[in-house]
Structure 1
Amino acid sequence: MGKKYTYLFREGNENMRELLGGKGANLAEMSNLGMPVPYGFTITTEACTQYYKDGEKINDEIKEQIFEYLDKLEKQSGKKLGDKENPLLVSVRSGARASMPGMMDTILNLGLNDEVVETVAELTKNERFAYDSYRRFIQMFSDVVMGLNKARFEKIIDDLKAKRGIESDLDLTADDMKELVVLFKQFYESELLESFPQEPKEQLMRAIEAVFKSWDNPRAIYYRRMNNIPSSWGTAVNVQMMVFGNMGNDCGTGVAFTRNPSTGEKKLYGEFLMNAQGEDVVAGVRTPNKIDELKEIAPDAYDQFVNICSTLEKHYRNMQDMEFTIEKGKLFMLQTRNGKRTAQAALKIACDMVDEGMITTDEALMMVEPQQLDSLLHPMFDEKALKKAEPIASALPASPGAACGEIVFSADEAIQQTEAGHKVVLVRLETSPEDIEGMHVAEGVLTVRGGMTSHAAVVARGMGACCVAGCGVLNMHEEEGYFSVGNKKYFRGDVISIDGSTGNVYGEAIKTVPATISGNFERFMRWADERRTLEVRTNADTPRDAKQAYDFGAQGIGLVRTEHMFFDGDRIKAMREMIVAKTAEQRRKALDKILPMQRNDFVGIYEAMNGNPVTIRYLDPPLHEFLPKTKEDIVALAHEMNMRPQDLEQVVADLHEFNPMLGHRGVRLAVTYPEIAEMQTKAVIEAAILVQKEHSEWNLEPEIMIPLVGDLNEFKYVKKVVVRTADDLLKKANMKLNYHVGTMIEIPRAALLSDQIAEEAEFFCFGTNDLTQLTYGFSRDDAGAFLSDYYDKRIFEQDPFVHLDQQGVGRLIRYSVKKGKETRPDIHLGICGEHGGDPESIEFCHRVGLNYVSCSPFRVPIARLAAAQAAIKND
Structure 2
Amino acid sequence: MSKKTVTKNSAESFFTRADGERKLRAERLLVGKATPLPTGPTVSLRTSSKLGGRKYVFSFGDGKADGNGSLRASLGGKGANLAEMTRIGLPVPPGFTISTEVCTYYYKHGYVYPRALESQLRAALSKTEKSVGKRLGDAESPLLLSVRSGARDSMPGMMDTILNLGINDETVEVIAAKTGSPRFAWDAYRRFLQMYGDVVMGVQRHMGEHHDPFEEVINALKQEVGIEKDDEFSVRDLKKLVASFKALIEERSGKSFPQEPLEQLWGAISAVFRSWQNDRATVYRRKYGIPHEWGTAVNVQAMVFGNMGETSATGVVFTRNPATGEEAFYGEYLINAQGEDVVAGVRTPQPVSQLQKEMPTTYRQLLAVRHILEKHFRDMQDLEFTIEENRLYILQTRSGKRTGTAAVRIAAEMVKERLITKEEALLRIPADSLSHVLAPIFDPASKEKAQLIATGLPAGPGAASGHIFFQAEDAVTFSQKGEKALLVRVETSPEDLRGMIAAEGILTARGGVSSHAALVARQMGKVCVCGACMLRIDYRTKTIATGKITLREGDFISIDGTTGEVFAGEVRTSPSEVVQVLVNRTLEPSRSKIYKNFALLMGWANKYSKLRIRANADTPEQVANAIAFGAQGVGLCRTEHMFFEGNRIDAMREMVLAASPEERRTALEKLLPYQREDFVGIFRALRGLPATIRLLDPPLHEFLPHDSLQQKSLADSLNIPVETLIKRVQELHEFNPMLGLRGCRLGMVYPEISEMQACAVFEAAALVQKEGIKVHLEIMVPLVGFSKEFKIQKDLVQQVAKDVARRLQTKFNYLIGTMIEVPRAALIASAIAGEADFFSFGTNDLTQTSLGMSRDDAGSFLPAYMEREILPGNPFASIDQEGVGRLMEIAIEGARRTHPGIKLGVCGEHGGDPNSVRYCYHLGLTYVSCSPFRVPIARIAAAQAALGAR
Query: C-alpha displacement at 1:300, in angstroms?
Result: 3.4
Of the candidates 852, 868, 879, which is equivalent to residue 793 of structure 1?
868
Of the candidates 39, 47, 53, which is equivalent to residue 102 of structure 2?
47
What one-letter code is carried by the residue in structure 2 that aligns with 1:297?
A: E
Moved more, 379-388 or 369-378: 379-388
Per the alignment, do residues 812 and 391 of structure 1 end up closer, same or farther by CA in structure 2, a change over 3 Å counting? same
What's 2:574 paired with? 513
Structure 2: distance between partners of 1:326 and 1:34: 17
- Is residue 2:551 matched to residue 1:490? yes
Structure 2: distance between partners of 1:62 and 1:634: 76
What one-letter code is carried by the residue in structure 2 that aligns with 1:832?
A: C
- Is residue 2:203 matched to residue 1:121? no
Query: C-alpha displacement at 1:778, in angstroms?
Result: 3.1
- Is residue 2:163 matched to residue 1:108? yes
What one-letter code is carried by the residue in structure 2 that aligns with 1:300?
A: T
Query: C-alpha displacement at 1:449, in angstroms?
Result: 0.8
Of the candidates 84, 103, 112, which is equivalent to residue 29 of structure 1?
84
SS in 2 for 1:34: coil
What's 2:73 paired with? 18
What's 1:316 paired with? 377
Query: C-alpha displacement at 1:859, in angstroms?
Result: 0.9
Structure 2: distance between partners of 1:390 and 1:645: 52
What's 1:423 paired with? 484
What's 2:591 paired with? none
What's 2:731 paired with? 654
What's 2:56 paired with? 5
Per the alignment, do residues 726 and 803 of structure 1 end up closer, same or farther by CA in structure 2, a change over 3 Å counting? same
Query: C-alpha displacement at 1:279, in angstroms?
Result: 0.6
- Is residue 2:118 matched to residue 1:70? no
Structure 2: distance between partners of 1:206 and 1:491: 43
What one-letter code is carried by the residue in structure 2 that aligns with 1:413?
A: D
What's 1:537 paired with? 614
Structure 2: distance between partners of 1:481 and 1:40: 45
What's 1:621 paired with? 698
Structure 2: distance between partners of 1:147 and 1:627: 61
Cα deviation 1:144-166 (Å, max 9, x = unaligned): 23150563322322222222222
- Is residue 2:199 matched to residue 1:144? yes
- Is residue 2:438 matched to residue 1:393? no
**Unpaired runs of 5+ in structure 2?**
1-51, 205-209, 579-594
Structure 2: distance between partners of 1:413 and 1:730: 62
SS in 2 for 1:253: strand
- Is residue 2:919 matched to residue 1:844? yes
Query: C-alpha displacement at 1:873, in angstroms?
Result: 0.9
Structure 1: distance between partners of 2:251 and 2:489: 30
Query: C-alpha displacement at 1:812, in angstroms?
Result: 2.9
Structure 2: distance between partners of 1:384 and 1:136: 49
What's 1:663 paired with? 740
- Is residue 2:929 matched to residue 1:854? yes
Of the candidates 404, 409, 425, which is equivalent to residue 364 of structure 1?
425
Query: C-alpha displacement at 1:352, in angstroms?
Result: 1.6
Per the alignment, do residues 214 and 640 of structure 1 end up closer, same or farther by CA in structure 2, a change over 3 Å counting? farther
Query: C-alpha displacement at 1:716, in angstroms?
Result: 0.4
What's 1:38 paired with? 93
Structure 2: distance between partners of 1:551 and 1:711: 38
Structure 2: distance between partners of 1:619 and 1:67: 72
SS in 2 for 1:331: strand
Of the candidates 697, 702, 717, which is equivalent to residue 792 of structure 2?
717
Cα deviation 1:625-671 (Å, max 9, x = unaligned): 33455777666655565444554444344334564423222122211
Structure 1: distance between partners of 2:482 and 2:398: 37
Structure 1: distance between partners of 2:573 and 2:734: 44
- Equivalent residues in 2 for 1:178-189, closer than 5 Å: 178-189=239-250
Query: C-alpha displacement at 1:21, in angstroms?
Result: 0.7
Structure 2: distance between partners of 1:309 and 1:119: 36
SS in 1 for 2:512: coil
What's 1:80 paired with? 135
Query: C-alpha displacement at 1:320, in angstroms?
Result: 0.7
Cα deviation 1:788-810 (Å, max 9, x = unaligned): 33333333322222222223332
8 Å contact from structure 1 (residues 231, 797) kept in 2: no
Per the alignment, do residues 186 and 544 of structure 1 end up closer, same or farther by CA in structure 2, a change over 3 Å counting? farther
What one-letter code is carried by the residue in structure 2 that aligns with 1:492?
A: E
Structure 2: distance between partners of 1:829 and 1:151: 56
What one-letter code is carried by the residue in structure 2 that aligns with 1:699?
A: K
What's 1:575 paired with? 652
Structure 2: distance between partners of 1:156 and 1:672: 76
8 Å contact from structure 2 (residues 453, 548) kept in 1: no
Of the candidates 411, 414, 426, which is equivalent to residue 353 of structure 1?
414
SS in 2 for 1:662: coil
Moved more, 847-856 or 543-552: 543-552
What's 1:599 paired with? 676
What one-letter code is carried by the residue in structure 1 that aligns with 2:214?
A: F
Question: Alpha carbon RMSD of aligned pairs, Å?
Answer: 2.3
Q: TM-score, normalised by structure 2?
A: 0.88
Q: TM-score, normalised by structure 1?
A: 0.95
Structure 1: distance between partners of 2:347 and 2:281: 26
Query: C-alpha displacement at 1:96, in angstroms?
Result: 0.9
Of the candidates 611, 635, 643, which is equivalent to residue 558 of structure 1?
635
Moved more, 836-845 or 563-572: 563-572
Moved more, 111-120 or 452-461: 111-120
Query: C-alpha displacement at 1:610, in angstroms?
Result: 3.4
What's 1:219 paired with? 280
8 Å contact from structure 1 (residues 58, 209) kept in 2: no
- Is residue 2:787 matched to residue 1:726? no
Structure 2: distance between partners of 1:3 and 1:571: 73
Structure 2: distance between partners of 1:68 and 1:655: 78
Cα deviation 1:444-478 (Å, max 9, x = unaligned): 22211111111111111111221111111112233
What one-letter code is carried by the residue in structure 1 that aligns with 2:109?
A: D
8 Å contact from structure 1 (residues 230, 797) kept in 2: no
8 Å contact from structure 2 (residues 453, 549) kept in 1: no
Cα deviation 1:364-407 (Å, max 9, x = unaligned): 11221111110111222233444454533222111211112222
Structure 1: distance between partners of 2:254 and 2:710: 64
- Is residue 2:878 matched to residue 1:778? no
- Is residue 2:317 matched to residue 1:256? yes
- Equivalent residues in 2 for 1:238-249, closer than 5 Å: 238-249=299-310
Query: C-alpha displacement at 1:538, in angstroms?
Result: 1.0
8 Å contact from structure 1 (residues 748, 812) kept in 2: yes
Query: C-alpha displacement at 1:568, in angstroms?
Result: 4.6
Per the alignment, do residues 674 and 393 of structure 1 end up closer, same or farther by CA in structure 2, a change over 3 Å counting? same
Structure 2: distance between partners of 1:796 and 1:753: 27
- How many residues are paired up? 873
Of the candidates 856, 862, 865, which is equivalent to residue 940 of structure 2?
865
Of the candidates 150, 158, 161, which is equivalent to residue 222 of structure 2?
161
Cα deviation 1:553-604 (Å, max 9, x = unaligned): 2121111122233345644443333333332222222323332333333233
SS in 1 for 2:637: strand
SS in 2 for 1:582: coil
SS in 2 for 1:226: helix
Structure 2: distance between partners of 1:61 and 1:628: 73
Query: C-alpha displacement at 1:314, in angstroms?
Result: 0.5
Structure 1: distance between partners of 2:548 and 2:856: 47
- Is residue 2:826 matched to residue 1:751? yes
